[in-house]
Chain A
Amino acid sequence: MIKIQDIRDTARDLLTKGEVRAVIGYRRGSRGMLAEPTFITSPEQADELVWDPTCFHNLSLYLVHDRKFLAHIRKNPEAPVAIVAKGCDARSIVVLMQEHYFKREDVYIIGVSCEGTGVLDERKLAPHLKGVQASNAAFDGNDFVFTTSEKLLAGHPAEGEKRLPAREVMADRCLECRIPYPREHNVVFGEDKTGRQLAEPFAALTRFEAQGAGTRWDFWSHHFDRCIRCFACRSVCPMCYCDECVVDSITFPVTTETTAEDKANRIRWIERSAVRSENITYLMTRAMHLAGRCTDCGECERACSVNIPLRLLNNKMEREAREQFGFEPGASIGGPSLVASFLDSDPGDFIR
């Protein structure tokens, strides 16, 4: 069991000694039980840190934000930033380092093991709470314990408390997670329970792919039509750090020589209309660009405002890389990246 006091003490210590300029972690938010990202810069704030089943967010996104901000103001980092990272989050950080987005010494990783569980899926929890609001969520061995603001139905151990086996309400990404432990870290809390096998890896994808091509096309057509292009999947993804995304055309250089025709005819790969053709191009481009980089933190799927099962796309690429090249994203900083490396043993049977 992870004691939150240990994480707080670490953060306080790092800030007191001036070893880091900030700690990115989780704190209790203003919306019921949900945790939210926090950025603390003084030792006194360390006590606001929390660690519970609602710490969904892959905070490595904020390392990217920080790096972009520093580049914008043309400053070099004076000291590293500390970050609370789960297994998948730490693997994202490794991918970013593989891609030289920042250096190892720029980041102090406070690793947290998910041990036997993972994070909550709010959609799975809703039917259990039957409209009652939870004010707190906590880990307890293999269970999640929710504090509720109203009395729940009879038969529960304590009024105002609901205990559920974590497996029933955990996010699919956590059930399918192969390595729920941040191997890359400066300090780590919690036991390494790699190999716990709560569900088969790629279980949802395997179930999906067992269906015929027609069924799968209907499924995706339905979901691509539903996309409202809020770009939450892209915005929440630490791997989507491009300065200019293929869906925006914001860095088209305009000079005094640029004519109206040039402006009108600038290349737009994807139009802004949220229609199937454009949505497919957007979502498939994103999936392709995540091959060998996505660590299945599942944030895109969680953030999606219309519940498009985006993990199926990313998992497909992840499994392909695994089966074809034995590639594990975010395994080691010095290791090769998927698309920038070649081994003699790589299969070539797709070349005809």
Chain B
Amino acid sequence: MFLYFSASPRIRVNIFWFRLARLRFKIMEKILNKKHIDDWIAALDGWDIQAPVLEDDIWSYQPVGGAVRLDHPNTKQSPKGLAFPQREIFFKFEQIKGEAPRLTEVVPDERRHAVFGVRPCDGRGVPRMDLVFNDHVEDNYYLARRKNVAYVGLACNKPPSANCFCLSVGGSPVSTEGLDVQMTDLGDRYFVKAITEAGKGLMTAAGKLFAEPSAADQKQVKQVHAEAVAQPQRAVRNVEEVPAKLKASFKSPLWQELAQPCIGCGICTFLCPTCHCFDINDEVQSKAPLKGIRVRTWDNCQFPDFTMHSSGHNPRENTGARLRQRVGHKFQYFPENFGMPQCTGCGRCISECPVGIDIINVVNKVVENAG
């Protein structure tokens, strides 16, 4: 884990255990012929497999039984929904008039998911989500799902999007952070490396399919990784300086100027691998007898009603204040709290914004103007 900022004691302890675990971890590196990928998946008994599928002109993670071809750029949505679904039912409630209300707990199902083809930026989203849902409060719903997900990553030999900027936010196209397995495309075969014990388990479940890498394979993967890291990317400049500069720019008029085209939709946050805000509502399904569910759904700081008070007052009353919140969360508040930027540089919010709001441009401009 690469850290820019002074980490909190709690994080330091986590990093200590992380490093210790890495020391005890015996390296497992293998070669998998591309034609065996479906056999590997078939051998993963007890795992539900998700992989990128092209449907309706968009790539999305979907349950697959086979025919997996990991030739996707990046998916439209990140895989965050596996641990943090857009809709999570907490419990059911019902009440017969005159009686006490009855609550029935809804427990996330226990199926295990292995997600194939996770890009390094999305892999790095996972530990950032873990920090949010496992820091001051342990979010049981998130954690119950999270422990059953294994992320099988695919290194980016070439940036999948013109708006990739992982290198400038502490990541890399070959980062293994957050992943259980890292695969690297070597043409007709994959170089497959276990990153965690869970990842090792996935590989040993189909041990016969894998071959030992030769010295030439080792050399090639090193070279592919070196070339991947050398690919030109867009960049947030001097990310270490960003938190302080943003802090100094809270009242900058630039926020409203840069956010003027913002339409206040949820694309940037819903597609983001680390945006995690949610809303909780009681959805009444029947009035008499009273029956319903308590539901958590994704929410979004760019919606005008996100901070609307019931008095009608809105403390973030314009698009500038709302853009500042999103950018500040990624590049100032999260670094202050957890010692690392929350943004992993996937570029989705840039590519998908209907009106061209570009987080790289926003951060660079505000920082530049902070002097």
Contacts and interface: CB of A to CB of B under 8 A. Distances in A.
Contacts of A275: 87
A176 interface: no
Given A272-B281, A306-B58, A31 B351 contact: yes
Contacts of B318: 69
A264 B56 CA distance: 39
A303 B356 contact: no
Interface string B274-318: 000001011110000000000101011001110010111000011
A112 to B, nearest CB: 18
Contacts of A236: 263, 265, 354-355
A220 interface: no
A36 B279 contact: no
Contacts of A248: 305
Nearest to B162: A133
B350 A37 contact: no
Interface in B164-199: none
Contacts of A306: 56, 58, 76
B260 A305 contact: no
How big is chain B's contact interface, by range?
35 or more
B6 to A, nearest CB: 32
A196 interface: no
B233 to A, nearest CB: 12
How big is chain A's contact interface, by range?
35 or more
B263 A307 contact: no
B261 A36 contact: yes
Contacts of B282: 264
B264 interface: yes
A61 B163 contact: no
Main secondary structure of the interface of B (DSSP, over half): loop
A62 B263 CA distance: 9
A37 B279 contact: no
Contacts of B57: 123, 307
A273 B260 CA distance: 29
Main secondary structure of the interface of A (DSSP, over half): loop
Contacts of B312: 251
B152 interface: no
Contacts of B283: 271, 273
Contacts of B206: none
A255 to B, nearest CB: 9
Interface in A249-284: 250-252, 254, 263-265, 271-275
A167 to B, nearest CB: 19
B358 interface: yes
B149 interface: no
Given A30-B356, A228-B86, 4 more contacts: A30-B360, A36-B356, A272-B295, A303-B265
Interface of B: 56-58, 76-77, 86-87, 162-163, 260-261, 263-267, 270-271, 279, 281-284, 295, 297, 299-300, 303-305, 308, 310-312, 317-318, 350-352, 354-356, 358, 360-361
5 contacts: A34-B356, A62-B261, A272-B295, A273-B295, A305-B267
